Amino acid sequence: MPRLLHLDSSARADSFSRTLGAAFADAWRSSRSDAEYTYRDLTARPVPPIDQAWTEICDTMLREGITAIADYPQAVRTPEQRKAWATVEPLLAELVAADVVLIGAPMYNFGVSAQLKAWIDQVTFPKMSLAPRRFVVASARGGSYLPGTPRAPFDHQTRYLLDFFTGHYAVTDAIVLGTELTNSLVDPALSERLEQHRSSHAEALERAAELGRSLVEGY
Binding-site positions: 10, 15-17, 107-110
Rounded distance between C-alpha atoms, residue 187 and residue 97, angstroms: 42
How many degrees, rounded to 5, is the angle at CA 47 between CA 137 and CA 204?
Answer: 15
Binding-site positions for FMN: 10, 15-17, 107-110
3-state secondary structure of 204: helix
Q: Which residues contact 193 (CB under 8 A, 6 or more apart)?
A: 144, 181, 184
Q: Which residues contact 78 (CB under 8 A, 6 or more apart)?
A: 53, 56
Orientation of helix 114-122 relative to helix 79-97, angle to 10°: 100
For β-strands 100-106 and 36-41, DSSP reports them as unpaired
Backbone phi and psi for residue 170, each to the nearest 5 degrees, phi listed first: 60, 30
Tell me, rounded to whole angstroms, the distance of Cα 217 from its chain centroid: 21
Rounded distance between C-alpha atoms, residue 109 and residue 59, angstroms: 31
Amino acid found at 10: S
Asked if 158 and 146 touch (Cβ cutoff 8 Å), the reply is no
